[in-house]
Amino acid sequence: MKVIPGLAILGILAASVLLAGCTAPATKPETAEMNAVAEEISMSINNGLGDIKEGLRNTSHNLSATGLSGPAAGAAMSENLRHYPWTLTSFTLSPGGIVLAAVPDDNAGFVGSNLSGQSHVQKANADRAPTVSGVFPLVEGFTAMLQTYPVFSTSGEYLGYVDITYAPEVFLAQRVRPVTNGTSYDVWVIQKDGTEIYDTTPEEIGKNILTDPVYADPALQEFANRVVQEPSGTGRYTFWNREWNRNVTKLAVWDTAGIDGAEWRVVVTREDGSTP
């Protein structure tokens, strides 16, 4: 996904001004560029998720011929992982939730494990379609998410699925930073349950904006609930600055990203009165 250059963003602003006289009220100048940034980040996220999905689709095609276990399956999965060096693991699972293959090799001990009790496993096998999970804890002590793709035999029999696992903040940083570098914008991304899966301030990743005491201020809670409930919008709220040494009022816009079941709010903020 190419970053919109400065001239392109100025073009978007100019177009909104020209159209203001013949359409519904135009976006306020103070948020027009922020909306463009939020939309660009959302599009980049979707493109990134789509790219991973395409890699899994190709792997699924190969596994249709090799089966979901054994050296040939592991080779196909390892080849896909090489395209995404920032990812963690790739497993194949049976319709009953049993791990049939696991790469890299240091995950071989998971083969034979029964993961049928995990909600994302149940969903992938029930849907028999591509899925994007919510975040979940790993035994290593941190959280991750995964994408899945179903595998069918050449005769159309459902064999199970292949997945790929990664830390959401690593994936999202690749989509956010190229857009916001050199600006005063901060970005946070949350699931609809309020869990932060990315934040310019790393200490906030993993917190839940709806339940964590640090976000307990009623006015902030009112704003947070709007973000969760509305696919896009604009607002203001008060919170700590980047240095965590004083409260500031922040101007915010948000948009929605996600494919295959994921629905993430992408929130772009800056201190009210500051310049981009």
| pLDDT score at 28 | 67
The shares of helix, strand and coil residues in the chain, as percent rounded to the nearest 5, are 40, 25, 35
pLDDT of residue 9 exceeding 60, the answer is: no
Task: Look up residue 168 and give its two tokens.
Answer: 């959401």
pLDDT (tens digit per residue) in 25-51: 345 677 899 999 999 999 999 999 999
Residue with tokens 């997945």: 163
d(CA 210, CA 87): 29
pLDDT of 135 reads: 96
CATH classification code of 59-168: 3.30.450.20
Q: What angle do CA 79, 165, 64 make, to 5 degrees?
A: 50
In tens, the pLDDT along 52-102 reads 999 999 999 999 999 999 999 999 999 999 999 999 999 999 999 999 999
Tokens of residue 276, six digits: 């981009």
Q: What is the pLDDT of residues 102-134, one digit of tens each?
A: 999 999 999 999 999 999 999 999 999 999 999
Q: Is 155 helix (H, G, I), strand (E, B) or coil?
A: coil
Give the integer Cα–Cα distance in Å for 157 and 232.
Answer: 41
What pLDDT score was predicted for residue 138?
83
Q: For 95, list phi and psi in degrees, rounded to 5.
A: -60, -20
The answer, yes or no, to whether residue 14 has pLDDT greater than 80, is: no
Lowest-pLDDT range of 3-7, 55-59, 80-84, 218-222: 3-7
Predicted confidence at residue 276, as pLDDT, reads 64
Cα–Cα distance between 218 and 276 in angstroms, integer?
28
Q: Which of 224, 226, 204 is CA-nearest to residue 216?
A: 224
What is the homologous superfamily of the domain 6-47+171-271 according to CATH? PAS domain (3.30.450.20)
At 163, which helix (H) or strand (E)? strand 158-166
The token pair at 262 is: 């994921």
Task: Kindly report whether the global pTM for this prediction surpasses the value 0.85.
Answer: yes
Helix (H) or strand (E) holding 161: strand 158-166
Residues 6+ apart with CB under 8 A from 218: none
Q: How far is CA 234 from CA 187, 195, 238, in A?
A: 14, 20, 14
Q: Where in the chain is the domain with CATH 3.30.450.20?
A: 6-47+171-271, 59-168
Residue 3 has pLDDT above 50, yes or no: no
The per-residue pLDDT for range 132-189, each reduced to its tens digit, is: 999 998 877 789 999 999 999 999 999 999 999 999 999 999 999 999 999 999 999 9
Q: Provide the token pair at 170.
A: 């690593």
Alpha carbon separation from 68 to 48, 62, 210 (Å, rounded) = 25, 10, 40
For residue 6 the two structure tokens come to 């400065």
pLDDT band for position 7 (50/70/90)? very low
- Looking at residue 21, its pLDDT comes to 35
Arithmetic mean of pLDDT over the chain: 89
